[in-house]
Amino acid sequence: LGAVLEELDFQNEAKNQIRGRTELMEAKLDMVVPEVFPALCGRRVLVMEFVDGHQVGAGDAFLAPEERLQVMTSLVKAYAHGLFVSGHFNGDPHAGNLLVTRRDGKAQCVLLDWGLTKQLSE
């Protein structure tokens, strides 16, 4: 029950998302994690940047084959970084938590829902 309550605590999710965003940006990985606005968050509300995008399955129609490969490669690199470098990763990877967006004409993967994360020990 403790893990479920922790996943439903949006202050915890905000903290995890801020950390994940920071780690992926510092690693210069080509992923989008929406910016969180902590001053507006609480246990029952999470306020973050709006990112316009398509769910992965729906977004595929808008992607050229080489873009699909690039988006998937970025996602795999982001998870590899979390698992093998920082030890902190999003523990809920499914199509509902992923979007594909375009920024400056480039297709990018958006990683959502940081309520369930894991921290691996050394």
Annotated active-site residue in 9, 30, 60, 92: 92
> What whole-number distance in Å separates Cα of residue 99 and Cα of residue 32?
9
Task: Return the structure tokens found at 18.
Answer: 């801020």
Separation of CA 5 from chain center: 20
Contact assessment for residue 75 and residue 107, using Cβ atoms and an 8 Å cutoff: no
> What whole-number distance in Å separates Cα of residue 23 and Cα of residue 27?
6
Q: What is the pLDDT along the chain (122 residues), one digit of tens a residue?
A: 566 667 789 999 999 999 999 999 999 999 999 999 999 999 999 999 999 999 877 556 788 989 999 999 999 999 999 999 999 999 888 888 999 999 999 999 999 999 999 999 87
92 among known catalytic residues: yes
> What whole-number distance in Å separates Cα of residue 97 and Cα of residue 117?
13
42 residue type, one letter: G
